């Protein structure tokens, strides 16, 4: 029998134990020190009998028992077995994306027997949670100086375009004109993206809020920041958008085109944009309601919904826009003073006038 360590799992230490995390089948269990050491002998397919042959009969029998238990547990895979074929297909499918990508996907993938609560049951759980653990606020304020923005008109003049026309005109723009972005357009754009919906502006007691883009459970974890390079009436630099107050809060960090391009994976076109929006995800907003790992996928989906709304509004305004997730997250975190363990960087949208 030839066997090797399964490649659809990871090891981690918890409470003094070594835990085997089989993310493909959603199983976690502790393994012994002996088992951990044995695994190191099976990083590739190895003949079990040949490995044990030099040992005495008693040691050989004891280790063979441990190896058989590891095979039964799926820690070791026997060459040519159904488990081997399953793993071969997994590795071929995910190829060069590597361990981290497949771990994220399969750890947050639901299996056939995944339990789900009914809406009444889930509401009851949240009602009980409200007593001891209040929800995080759906809007954030940095508490410093603010720059009020022009209000969103009841009927913005750019809103007359038909939806179908806007959808057909939508393009990713990587080249911008030389003029800046008008302040009123910035205010209107931010209000539509991240302010409460004018139609339903009430904040629910569990922290739910309605906006123009959908969000899992109405949690809206995505926070908006704006870097101003050329917006008449606004100081250059990074600002946080307070959606409830409809105001910008200067952060005090101003990037030049080279710094912006470096943060955007060396994409010069982002550095040339007169306005760049950064999207971050405040994880606690979503985690408060959904305590399963799958909810992290929802945060990623939320920024997709929001960035598409930005595309459509910018297109209706006659502005060019391009989204990118090719970032150096750490540079953005440092500029925005984000705690990377609680607020994660998701992407950037660069905006400006269309080239002439």
CATH number where 87 lies: 3.90.930
Number of structural domains (the chain) is 2
Place of tokens 């159904």: 82
- Region of residue 18 (phi > 0: left; psi between -120 and 50: alpha; otherwise: beta): beta
Whether 127 is covered by a domain: the verdict is: no
Q: Are residues 304 and 169 in the same domain?
A: yes
Q: Does 128 reside within a domain? A: no
Separation CA 280–CA 221 (nearest Å): 8
Residues 185 and 352: beta-carbon distance below 8 Å: no
Q: Are 38 and 77 in contact (CB under 8 A)?
A: no
Domain span including residue 173: 137-353
Q: Is 119 part of any domain?
A: no
Q: Is residue 241 part of a domain?
A: yes
| One domain for residues 95 and 221 | no
R_g of the chain computed on alpha carbons: 26
Same domain? 93 vs 175? no
Cα angle at 256 between 254 and 257, to 5 degrees?
140
Q: What is the pLDDT of residue 201?
A: 83
Residue 242: inside a domain, yes or no?
yes
144 and 247 in a single domain? The answer is: yes
Looking at the domain assignment, is residue 289 inside a domain?
yes
Same domain, 213 and 84: no
Give the CATH number, domain containing residue 341: 3.40.109.10
> Is residue 71 located within the same domain as residue 165?
no
Question: What is the pLDDT, as a whole number, of residue 58?
Answer: 94
Phi, psi of 247 (to 5 degrees): -150, 155
Residue 117 lies in a domain: no
pLDDT at position 61 is 94
Residues 222 and 326 occupy one common structural domain: yes
* Mean pLDDT across the chain: 95
- For residue range 171-226, list pLDDT tens digits in order: 999 999 999 999 999 999 999 999 999 888 889 989 999 999 999 999 999 999 99
Same-domain check for residues 100 and 249: no
Indicate whether 167 and 269 sit together in one domain.
yes
- Cα separation, 337 vs 280, in Å, equals 11
Clarify whether residues 243 and 141 are in a common domain: yes
Return d(Cα 93, Cα 84) in angstroms, integer. 14
> What is the number of other CB atoms lying within 10 angstroms of the CB of residue 318?
12
Q: Which residues of 51-85 are buried (b: 16+ CB within 10 A; e: fewer)?
A: bbeeeeeeeeeebeeebeebbeebbbbeeeeeebe
The pLDDT value recorded for residue 232 is 97
Domain check: are 171 and 271 in the same one? yes
Specify the DSSP element, H or E, that contains 22: strand 17-22
List, as one string, the DSSP characters of 214-257.
--GGG---EEEEEEESS-TTS-SEEEEEETTTTEEEE-S----H
What DSSP element (H or E) covers 348? Answer: strand 343-353
- What is each CA distance from 90 to 8, 10, 121, in whole angstroms? 8, 15, 36
- DSSP assignment, residue 138? S
The answer to whether residues 42 and 179 belong to one domain is: no
pLDDT tens by residue, the chain, 356 residues = 999 999 999 999 999 999 999 999 999 999 999 899 999 999 999 999 999 999 999 999 999 999 999 999 999 999 999 999 999 999 999 999 989 999 999 999 999 998 888 989 988 999 999 999 999 999 999 999 999 999 999 999 999 989 999 999 999 999 999 999 999 999 999 999 999 998 888 899 899 999 999 999 999 999 999 999 999 999 999 999 999 999 999 999 999 999 999 999 999 999 999 999 999 999 999 999 998 999 999 999 999 999 999 999 999 999 999 999 999 999 999 999 999 999 999 999 999 999 98
| Residue 200 is assigned to a structural domain of this protein | yes
């Amino acid at each position: 029998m030839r066997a090797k360590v399964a490649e659809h799992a990871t090891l981690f230490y918890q409470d003094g134990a070594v835990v085997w995390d089989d993310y493909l089948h959603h199983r976690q269990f502790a393994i012994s020190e002996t088992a951990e050491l044995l695994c190191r002998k099976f990083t590739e397919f190895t003949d079990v009998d040949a490995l044990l042959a030099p040992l005495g009969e008693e040691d050989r029998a004891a280790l063979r028992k441990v190896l058989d238990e590891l095979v039964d547990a799926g820690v070791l895979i026997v060459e040519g077995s159904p488990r081997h074929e399953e793993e071969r297909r997994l590795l071929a499918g995910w190829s060069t994306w590597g361990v981290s990508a497949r771990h994220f996907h399969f750890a947050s993938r639901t299996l056939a027997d995944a339990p789900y609560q009914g809406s009444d049951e889930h509401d009851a759980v949240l009602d009980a949670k409200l007593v001891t653990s209040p929800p995080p606020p759906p809007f954030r304020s940095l508490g410093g100086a603010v720059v009020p923005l022009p209000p969103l008109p009841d009927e913005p003049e750019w809103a007359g375009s038909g939806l179908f026309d806007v959808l057909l005109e939508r393009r990713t723009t990587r080249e911008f004109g030389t003029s800046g972005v008008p302040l009123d357009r910035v205010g209107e754009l931010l209000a539509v993206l991240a302010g409460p919906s004018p139609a339903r502006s009430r904040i629910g007691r569990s922290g739910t809020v309605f906006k123009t883009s959908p969000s899992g459970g109405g949690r809206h974890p995505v926070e908006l920041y704006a870097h101003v390079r050329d917006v008449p009436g606004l100081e250059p630099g990074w600002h946080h958008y307070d959606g409830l107050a409809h105001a910008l809060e200067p952060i005090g960090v101003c990037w030049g085109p080279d710094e912006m391009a470096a943060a955007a994976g060396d994409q010069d076109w982002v550095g040339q944009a007169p306005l760049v929006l950064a999207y971050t995800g405040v994880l606690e907003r979503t985690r408060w309601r959904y305590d399963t790992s799958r909810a992290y996928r929802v945060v990623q989906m939320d920024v997709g919904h929001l960035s598409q709304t930005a595309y459509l509004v910018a297109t209706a305004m006659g502005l060019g826009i391009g989204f990118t997730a090719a970032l150096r997250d750490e540079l953005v975190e440092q500029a925005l003073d984000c705690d990377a363990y609680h607020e994660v960087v998701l992407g950037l949208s660069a905006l400006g006038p269309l080239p002439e």
